[in-house]
Structures are given as structure tokens and as C-alpha cells.
Amino acid sequence: WIGSLDDALCLQVLRTRGINAFLNCAVEECERECAPFRSPQGGRRRCHARGLSATHIGFEPAVEADGCAKLDRDQVRSLALFDCEWYTSMLGYDTAYLGFAADDNASYSMDRHFSEASDFLKQCRAEGRKVLVHCVMGINRSTAALVAFLCGDLEMTLEAAIDVISRHRGHVLSNESFLAQLIARFGRRASGDA
């Protein structure tokens, strides 16, 4: 499953889908996105509108047998730590986690993460895990990492890998530099020069 920061924090959906492994391609930016929700005691909850929105649904931890209170979206963001222990605690079952801090800009060498991301995804596949590959928006970093795995480890062509992801996710790889890095590494297979 490929997604965004919101997907990575929607605990109910993660449990429903049985997601038990996480590849976070934007650890530092995810931490920065959640930082405003971590206010000192007594602070007012961050909210742009009054009342519930459609996006609040699903942002709560595993419900304990004693019926503990559910957390809303902002509360989950205030608690998010982006590591294996946090996901294991919040979901109530064993998880695997790999995170790295990639920048979504034209000068960033995303290809430096292809090997570690592929190794993690290969291990998760061998263990039968369901993985969420995410960044902040779910468009560039997570897609580049997943395409690298599909091409490098599952031997898909670059075109086929991008096509299967875009059919499920929509517009992906708007960062032309990341696309160029994928073409440099995996583009020859599409032309049969492998």
C-alpha cells in the first residue's frame, strides 16, 4: 500500500487492512508536520474549524478491553513518534519499521535510498507482512522507493511499475529528478537492453 502521512496515522484503517510494516521515506518532514500538535499542557487543541470533519474518522488507537477513550486525528498527530515501538503500541500487534529522511526536491539523490528500501521490502515480503510505503503526500519519495523495489527485486519494467502505482494512487512522480534517477537505474529494461 502506498500513501501519505495521513494514511500512516489513520490507525483504524491500518488495523482494518492488516498493515504491519511501515516504510517512511520522509521521517524528518513527518515529524515536522506533527510538531505543531505537540503543545504544552493546558494548550488549546489545534483546529481550523469547529466540529467534526470527514477526515477525523479512523484516527484512534486500538481499543483496550477496558474501553479506553478513542483519540481524534489531532491527538494521534500529537503522539506520533514514527518508529516500530510506537506503531506496535498504537496498533496492538507486532510491526516492522524503516524510516529515512529524503527531501522532495530536484537536487536530492533519492537513489541513495533504493537499496535499503528494497532490502526492507524484500524482508517484509519474505515474512508475509503488509507494508505501507509513505512520505508526506504519497506522490514522489514513496513512489520512487516502491518503483525501485518493483523494478530491482520483482523485475518489473519501469513503465509497468509506474503504471501499476499510478492506477492505484493517481498522479505520481511529479519530481522529474526522481523520475530521471529511476530511468538511469531501471530504464534500460523497458527497451530490452537488460
**Does residue 9 contact residue 86 with C-beta atoms inside 8 Å?**
no
Q: What is the mean pLDDT of residues 37-66?
A: 52
Residue ranges in the chain assigned as alpha helix (H)? 5-9, 11-17, 27-34, 73-79, 84-91, 114-126, 141-152, 158-169, 176-186, 188-191
pLDDT reported for residue 188: 72
Can you give the pTM of this predicted structure?
A: 0.83
pLDDT reported for residue 71: 81
pLDDT digits (tens, 9 = 90+) for 84-113: 999 999 999 999 999 999 999 999 999 999
**Does residue 23 contact residue 120 with C-beta atoms inside 8 Å?**
yes
Enzyme catalytic residues: 135
Q: Can you tell me whether residue 175 is helix, strand or coil?
A: coil
User: Which fold, 2-137?
Assistant: Protein-Tyrosine Phosphatase; Chain A (3.90.190)
Distance between CA atoms of 172 and 156, rounded to whole angstroms? 17
For the chain, domain boundaries: 2-137
